Amino acid sequence: MPNLRNTRLWDPQLEFAFPDCRLPYLEREKVQVTRGRMVFDTVYCASCGEAKCLAPVAATTFAFFVCDTCVGRDGPPPGCVEVAGL
């Protein structure tokens, strides 16, 4: 499988505008969660830092996340819009 970063689908501006909300690569395994045969990285809120969701390791090259509590208090991050129902 090709690395998404090496394709035209990858937008590097998005990567540099927002932080990756997972732990650094070598620390990530310590907080991974396994469900069946799937392994997930823990994703932390970029605003409050709480562990709030999981991202599948095999399908995630970058994860930025702000929780509902922080968006409700501070609004969405600059340049972002809320998508209802997620």
Residues near Zn ion (CB under 5 A): 45, 47-48, 67, 70
Give the bridge partners for 54, in sequence order.
42
Nearest CA among 34, 85, 23, 86 for reference residue 56: 34
SS3 69: helix
- Taking the least distance from each CB to Zn ion, the nearer of 17 and 48 is 48
Query: Which three-class secondary structure state does DSSP give residue 42?
Result: strand
Minimum distance from residue 74 beta carbon to Zn ion (Å): 9
CB of 22 to Zn ion, least distance (A): 15
Q: Output 11 or 50, the one with its CB closest to Zn ion.
A: 50
Nearest distance from C-beta of residue 21 to Zn ion, angstroms? 10
